[in-house]
Structure 1
Amino acid sequence: MIKLENISMSFHGKHILQGIDLEVQKGETLVVIGPSGSGKSTLLRLMVGLLKPTQGEVWIKGQEISHLSEDNLNKVRIGMGMVFQYSALFDSMTVGDNVAFGLREHTAMTEAEIQRIVARNLRMVGLAGQQDVMPNELSGGMKKRVSLARAIAIRPEIMLYDEPTAGLDPIMSGTIDRLIMNAKRVLCVTSVVVTHHMSSAFKIADRVAMIHGGRIIEVGTVEQIRQSENPVVQQFILGLKSPSAYVRRRSEMR
């Protein structure tokens, strides 16, 4: 569904990504982990065509998108939903109008059909009856849920999540994790989730890719990542101060 080939990305001469090769299979949830500033969110923006790579190719469902016009990119994006880190709701619109936005822009549905989908999606994320509420009346977790309801309204085949649990308490983070898994189960979507929360990553992932220094340093199942021999991977997933701390811990255990 998604394929990145030899992707590099630079801003003002600074290398953000270097030589990225990555594939996401239909129906799987790939979680991308790594320290802040390592290029995780840049990967998502390349996948949805918000950025064009300095080098390499981005393939979505067998179509290379990095050289498409904006009109043709929009045709590809209709099949993709994205949940942004800060929700990115339209503050001047009600919750219902936020969820309905993509349907009104990109479909020929009647208003009655749109309202049925809005009501159904808000029920799915636990916000039934909140159509007339304004975004500034919502908590951070509720905004994330509205953003998810909006993203799945057009029944996308691909979902991209940028730090969906950032800034949320453990209970609400668990709620968002369950909604991501439910969207996969109900809609059969292919998902890419960027996060630095390891509890969420290990709960929702089919596979995990770790990016460090602008490069993918390891890809594997949750168990493979847990058992990785790479000290940098272990430093990150265990929250250690340095890779050498993991090496010392291994030596002590022996």
Structure 2
Amino acid sequence: MIKLVNVNMTFHGKQVLENINLEIARGETMVIIGPSGSGKSTLLRLIIGLLKPDSGEIWVDDKELFRLSEDEINAVRLKMGMVFQYSALFDSMTVGENVAFGLRQHTKMTDEEIAAVVRRKLRIVGLRGQENTMPNELSGGMKKRVSLARAIAINPEVILYDEPTAGLDPIMSGKIDRLIAGTQRRMNVTSIVVTHHMPSAFNIADRIAMIYNGRIVETGTVDEIRHSENPLVQHFIQGQKIAGLAKRRLRE
């Protein structure tokens, strides 16, 4: 479904991603882990076409993004939904209006059809009857669920999640994990989840890729990552400092 080939990205002369090669199968949940500032969120923005790499190729559903016209890139983006780290809801809109936003922008559905979709998607994320609620009346976990309802409103083939459990307590984080897994099963979507929260990563992943200093240092199943012999991986998943190890490992 998605393939990155020798992708490099710099900002202001600093290498953010270096020689990234990654394949994500259709219907798979790929979790990207790594410390803050390691390039995880940049990777999501490249996949959705918001950023263009300095070099390399990004393929989505057999189309290389940056050989396409802007209209063609927009058509690819319509196959994707995004759940942002801090939900990114429009404060001046109701919950229902937030969920309906993409439908109004990109479809010719009638108001009645849109209202039916909104009701259905809110029910899926456990927010039945909240159409007229304002975002400032919601808890952090509820905002995340509205963001997911908005992302799935257009029935995407790919959903990208940027730190979906950031700022949530362990109980709510577990609920969001189950919602992500349930959405993947129900819709058979390809899911890409960026997180540094290892309980979530282990709960929802089919495979995990770890990025450190802009490089993918290991990719594998949950079991393979748990039992990795790479000290960078082990120190990260155990919550230990890895700076010194990283310098030695990268020199090797």
Same fold (TM over 0.5): yes
Q: Which residue of 2 aligns with 1:142?
A: 142
Superposed CA offset, 1:136-165 (max 9, x none): 111111111000000001000001000000
What is the rounded CA distance, in whole Å, between the counterparts of 1:70 and 1:170 in structure 2?
41
> Which deviations, in whole Å up to 9, do the C-alpha atoms of 1:61-111 show, x marking residues without a partner?
000112434322211111100001011111111100100111111112121
1:84 alignment partner in structure 2: 84
How many residue pairs end up in the alignment?
Answer: 245
Q: Secondary structure at the match of 2:66?
A: coil
Q: Counterpart in 1 of 2:64?
A: 64
Distance 1:228 1:177 in 2: 23
Runs of 4+ in 1 over 6 A off after TM superposition: none
Higher mean displacement: 235-244 or 55-64:
235-244
Q: What TM-score, normalized by structure 1, do the two folds share?
A: 0.94
Contact 1:234 / 1:243 at 8 angstroms: preserved in 2?
no
How far apart in 1 are the matches of 2:231 and 2:63? 37
Tell me the residue number matched to 2:38. 38
2: distance between equivalents of 1:26 and 1:140?
Answer: 30
Within 2, Cα distance between the matches of 1:101 and 1:52? Answer: 26
Matched residue of 2:112: which SS?
helix
User: Does the CA contact (< 8 Å) of 1:231 and 1:243 recur in 2?
Assistant: no
For structure 2, the residue ranges without an aligned partner over 5 or more in a row are 246-252
Match in the other structure for 1:185: 185
AA matched with 1:138: L
C-alpha displacement of 1:241: 2.7
Distance in 1, Cα, partners of 2:53 & 2:67: 10
Identity of aligned residues (%): 69
Match of 2:232 in 1: 232
Task: Indicate the SS of the match to 2:76.
Answer: helix
Q: What displacement does 1:213 show? A: 1.1
- Counterpart AA for 2:156: P
Please show how residues 1-254 of structure 1 align to structure 2 within 5 Å. 1-242=1-242
Give 1:53's aligned amino acid.
Answer: P
- Report the secondary structure of 2:182's partner residue: helix
AA in 2 matched with 1:51: L
What is the root-mean-square deviation of aligned Cα atoms in Å?
Answer: 1.2
Q: Return the letter of the residue paired with 2:28.
A: E
> How many angstroms does 1:27 deviate by?
0.5
SS in 2 for 1:88: coil
Shift in Å, 1:244: 7.8
TM superposition shift of 1:126: 1.1
TM-score by length of 2: 0.95
Contact 1:29 1:191 in 2 (8 A): yes
Q: Is the 8 A contact 1:210 1:233 kept in 2?
A: yes
Structure 1 letter corresponding to 2:51: L
Distance apart, 1:234 and its partner CA: 0.2
TM-aligned CA deviation for residue 235 of structure 1: 0.4
